Amino acid sequence: MTIRDDHTLATDLATEAGERLLALREKEGFADPTALRKEGDASAHLFLMEALARSRPGDSVLSEEATREERLDPRRLRAERVWIVDPLDGTREFAEEGRADWAVHVALWERGELTAGAVALPAQGRTLSTLEPPVLPAARPQARPRIAVSRTRPPEFVQNLATRAGADLVPIGSAGAKISAVLTGEVEAYVHAGGQYEWDSAAPVAVALAAGAHASRVDGSPLTYNQGDPSLPDILVSLPGLAPTLLAGIRDLHR
């Protein structure tokens, strides 16, 4: 068996899961979105679980597609290494023909910190990872900031934040695609509140932090992973120079 480092393993697994999802899209088509979403979630979860069990048999795994009993397994909370995965982030977009804003997330949490991660964007033909963290785009000092928000449930306070900051909102599908958009220069920030889980952000946050971007809760506190309750309801990821302005604006809105 080839021993791969964790960065390489996360990158390879996210990329291969994404390639399998692309093949599934090609095979099944888009006539039955519900069936396509269901098969995509299940097949990517099975692939990642089997691959991690084979490559890292001593590690725990927290997956969005695991059963409730598996997620609550107390051995995960005692483990020193936990893989946090979202086999198909942006299931809605995956089942919509022509959309590329869906992703596969693979992250490694070790002793309190995210230490490796990869976000595959299969329909965009790229994987961002901690193996070779992306170079952050240059600031655009004369341009209005762009903030990525949910396509379907943008939080009202982000609209107010955008008005205060003189920013424009950019709807994008999956959380992984939104955070990746910060890292590739399509937007300067991503703000969300109102509900997410650890698997929605662990991998893209690992890559964002490795690249030097800002990532925190919307009150500026650290994002913490591998908790008993995997709910992690809000997040701010941005280019580092913009973070103080956005955090101050959020504080003002909540006074």
Q: What pLDDT is recorded for position 3?
A: 57
Judge contact between 87 and 65, C-beta under 8 A: yes
27-80 tens-digit pLDDT: 999 999 999 999 999 999 999 999 999 999 999 999 998 888 888 888 899 999
Helix axis angle, 33-55 relative to 6-28, nearest 10°?
150
Determine whether 141 is exposed, middle or buried from the number of CB atoms within 10 Å of its CB (0-12, 13-18, 19+).
exposed
Q: Is the pLDDT of residue 4 over 60?
A: yes
Cβ partners under 8 Å of residue 135, min gap 6? 211
Q: What is the mean pLDDT of the chain?
A: 93
163-195 tens-digit pLDDT: 888 899 999 999 999 999 999 999 999 999 888
Judge contact between 172 and 220, C-beta under 8 A: no
Cα–Cα distance between 172 and 63 in angstroms, integer? Answer: 23
Task: Calculate what percentage of the chain has a pLDDT beyond 70.
Answer: 99
Q: What pLDDT is recorded for position 195?
A: 84
**E strand segments, 130-181:** 146-150, 168-172
Please tell me whether residue 46 adopts helix, strand or coil conformation.
helix
- Determine if the pTM surpasses 0.85: yes
Judge contact between 184 and 156, C-beta under 8 A: no
Q: What pLDDT is recorded for position 170?
A: 95
